[in-house]
Chain A
Amino acid sequence: MKHLSAVLCAAALALPVVAAGQTASSPPSGTPVQEEVVGTIEDNDAKIAIPAFATNADVPTQTSAGSTGALGLAVSNVIYGDLKNNGLFKPVGPGSLPKPSLGQVQAPDYGTWQSRSADMLLQGYVRAEPGGNITVGCYLYDVSLGQRVASAGWTLPPSDWRRAAHKCADMVYSRLSGENPFFDSRIAFIAETGPKNRRMKQLAVMDSDGANLRYLTTGQTTALTPRFSPDYKQILYLSYFNGQPRIYIYDLATSTQRLLLQSKNPLFAPRWSPDGRWILYSMAIGGNTDVYKMPSSGGAGVKLTDSPGIDIGGSYSPDGSHIVFESDRSGSQQVYVMNSDGTGQKRISFFGGRSATPEWSPRGDQIAFTHIAGNFRIAVMDPSGGNMHYLTDSWQDEAPTWAPNGRVIQFFRTTRGSGKTGIWQVDLTGKNERKLDTPNDGSDPAWGPLRP
């Protein structure tokens, strides 16, 4: 009976115990409380309001925009155009926004902008200086935090007023995206006119938004594949005259050019080394094309590839240690990497179809190329050939080149049916394709470095 009672007592007491709360310890005083916040990468672009720039006095200027009042509006429109379709922002241009007064430029009325759901606000002013120069000041504000995040100003000759707007867009772009800026730069390309059987191809340069177009050759010879030198001062390009190929280096400061290489063999794809000391080119001898390298000051070429096929192109890695090129030695065009002395050649493209026109990013982390499997599409991969993904999806996109910040890629697109070519840009993430307006057709775009 004694045992029984004990058992019964134990049974009666064994009620289920429900925990009322999470057992969690508090860290001893001084140890930080830790939590985690996870988001997702979405297309949530920052909405930037860009009202017209104000001015202290509406006086005439020597700019192509007119008086300072009109110039203020023009500057904000150039900035709006740069940031639009750039992929990271949703700018609202001056046309649909109230115009702030000069005093508000440095002391914004945040309430107005909050009610318009702006995330960021870009305000500025323009001022005519006594000697004719123009000063542009530029201020970027975070509307929800209610504080200024960046500001800068530039004084430039009146003919360069667009550069001030590009530099302002660069300030916004680099501050918000973390990337190096690129709007204040020039693009070299081949301007094409005329019917298909008598096509005229001239070397031309323009601003990164298509303005200030200037032709460098007359069109009597066909110009192809231009490339800026690393110091921006020269353009390397291929010219055909009476079937004779020649590689020229054009000096932008003196507007003269010198002959680098002339051959009775076909020549292709001249490219600079990152230090500007070497030029890569491809030459076809008896149907066998190989990649060569020669000093940019002139001299004998060194043969780098030697396969019985077409080895062509050639783009240096930014540290100058490797070269990526295209070869059909496997039976179809594919992408290969080798050391800069020609040793260690190995294939890196195994995606099916054909892979052509590779270009190494100036950041070194990606190689852009044209992938051909039915359509021609721009794609990127890492330097070992992995993580390939497409950036475009049209009928015929080819010949990608990189902006100096390694984030935006340029290529040219041929429209199906009409055969018209145009220059396009796309962000490295594949978003935001944007056409560059050229007066006529354009091809072979190459981006120059940022202007100081």
Chain B
Amino acid sequence: MAETAPRLPLSQDEAAALGVALLAHVGLVAALVWYSPAALPPGGEGRMSVTISDESGLAASANSSSNDLPQDSGAQLGEVPPPPEPEPVELAKAELLPKPVPPVTRAVAAPVQRPVTRPPTAGRTATSSVPPKQQQGKQQGKCATAFDRAYGTCGKNSDGSNFAPGGGPKGGGNPNTGKGKDPATGAQKVAWQNSVAARVQGAWQRCPVSGLDLEKLRMVVPFNLDRQGRVISIGEPRVSGQTQSNRTQIAPFRACAEKAIRLGAPYLGLPPEYYDQWNSRELTFSKGRAQ
């Protein structure tokens, strides 16, 4: 018996297939190792490194190349080509945001009594996105936060994504409702849906209301903006959670809410071509117990 190298019991087809598979694996590993991350994902210009940590600050860590884009603040959201239909990220967007630093946490702690749940799927309501909004409201400097960089006047991320907190209040898909223009991307919609609350938060926090059962009070205030983001009108609020003890606080509560809306204007960074979809708004105001 001649001594030969041990042979695997493969047919010719199988051997060829294994060889191809091996080559494909090698190619894949090579691609992952050698190709730069910027070239890989479809639809995005830059990657942002995301930190999940209790200590990290609120400064954005977006790729600095995002500041090199030639577009100015208002128009560029409409010019980014839409990505292919993305799968909803199972990780909630809220979880990708750095947690707020302690001095801000007091405002953030308030929603403990609220149904704050980190959504396992996208499409939850806006209540879950409250904590990150507040931290951004506290930093009103021009380019202090990624939010301001995204929606303020100091330049924008490439695709408008996505330090904007939380989900849009209406979950679901991606309906094509642009006015004959390129359909608004999910990121663009988030931009105009989350651009007012953060600016209102500071004035709302500072305005004094005092009494019993205040944390039960919730007030939905409707208002309209013009194309420049100025307040046109503020309508009658809808109040819930009133008790005999907090009834007298409804008037100053309302006065504080309207004042906070007025002081935050003009609300910049909203795309004029989608004015129809963001001009009519409602803000729900509440105050929780400090902790």
Residues of chain A whose beta carbon lies under 8 Å from any beta carbon of chain B: 1, 4, 8, 11-12, 17-42, 44-46, 87-88, 142, 144-145, 149, 176-180, 363-366, 407, 427-429, 431
Which 8 A-B pairs give the minimum distances between C-beta atoms? A24-B168, A21-B187, A19-B86, A35-B197, A365-B244, A39-B205, A26-B189, A178-B252
> Chain A residue with minimal CB distance to B128?
A36
B residues 234-291 in Cβ contact with A at 8 Å: 243-245, 248-253, 255, 259-260, 262-263, 274, 276-278, 280-291
Q: Which of A24, A88, A179, A427 contacts B122 (CB 8 A)?
A: A24
Residues 189 to 224 of chain B near chain A (Cβ within 8 Å): 189-190, 192-194, 196-197, 200-201, 203-212, 214-215, 222
Of chain A, the residue at the smallest CB distance from B193 is: A33
Q: Is the CB of B177 within 8 A of A144?
A: no
Closest to A87 in B: B210
Residues of chain B at interface, number, CB under 8 A: 104
Q: Does B109 make an interface contact (CB < 8 A)?
A: yes
CA of A19 to CA of B91, assembled, Å: 11
Q: What residue in chain A is nearest B41 (Cβ atoms)?
A: A18
Asked if B58 lies at the interface with its beta carbon under 8 angstroms from chain A, I say no
Instruction: Tell me, rounded to whole Å, the shortest Cβ–Cβ distance linking B202 to chain A.
Output: 9
Q: What residues of B have a CB within 8 angstroms of the CB of A27 in the complex?
A: 169-170, 277
- In contact, A8 and B20 (Cβ under 8 angstroms): yes
Count A/B pairs, Cβ under 8 Å: 246
The contact sample of 28 A-B pairs, CB cut-off 8 A, is A4-B20, A8-B20, A19-B87, A20-B44, A21-B186, A22-B187, A23-B173, A23-B174, A25-B171, A25-B174, A26-B274, A26-B277, A27-B170, A29-B177, A35-B283, A35-B284, A37-B137, A37-B204, A38-B111, A39-B110, A40-B107, A40-B109, A40-B290, A46-B207, A88-B210, A178-B211, A178-B250, A429-B212
Evaluate contact between B290 and A19: CB separation under 8 angstroms: no
Are B89 and A19 in contact (CB-based, < 8 A)? Answer: yes
Q: How far is the CB of A176 from chain B (nearest CB, A)?
A: 6
Distance, CA A11 to CA B123, complexed state (A): 30
Please measure, in the bound complex, the distance between the C-alpha atom of A431 and the C-alpha atom of B210, giving whole angstroms: 10
B211 contacts across to A, CB distance below 8 A: 177-179, 407, 428-429
> How far is the CB of A86 from the nearest CB of chain B, in Å?
10
Contact between chains at B201 and A37 (CB < 8 Å): yes
Question: CB within 8 Å of A: which residues of B?
Answer: 13, 16-17, 20-21, 24, 41-44, 83-84, 86-89, 93, 106-107, 109-111, 114, 122-123, 126-127, 129-130, 133-134, 137, 159-162, 164, 166-175, 177, 184-187, 189-190, 192-194, 196-197, 200-201, 203-212, 214-215, 222, 243-245, 248-253, 255, 259-260, 262-263, 274, 276-278, 280-291
B29 to chain A, nearest CB (A): 14
Which residues of B lie under 8 Å from residue A429 when comparing CB positions? 210-212
Given contacts A34-B126, A41-B215, contact A23 B245 (CB under 8 A): no
Name 16 extra pairs, CB < 8 A, besides A4-B20, A12-B24. A1-B13, A8-B20, A20-B83, A23-B88, A25-B172, A25-B173, A26-B184, A26-B189, A30-B280, A32-B282, A38-B130, A38-B287, A39-B204, A46-B207, A145-B263, A365-B212
Prevailing SS type, chain A contact patch:
loop
Measured in the bound complex, the distance between the Cα atoms of B25 and A8 in whole Å is: 11
Q: Considering the chains assembled together, what is the distance between the CA atoms of A163 and B84 in angstroms?
A: 73
Partner of A33, one of B84, B88, B255, B280: B280
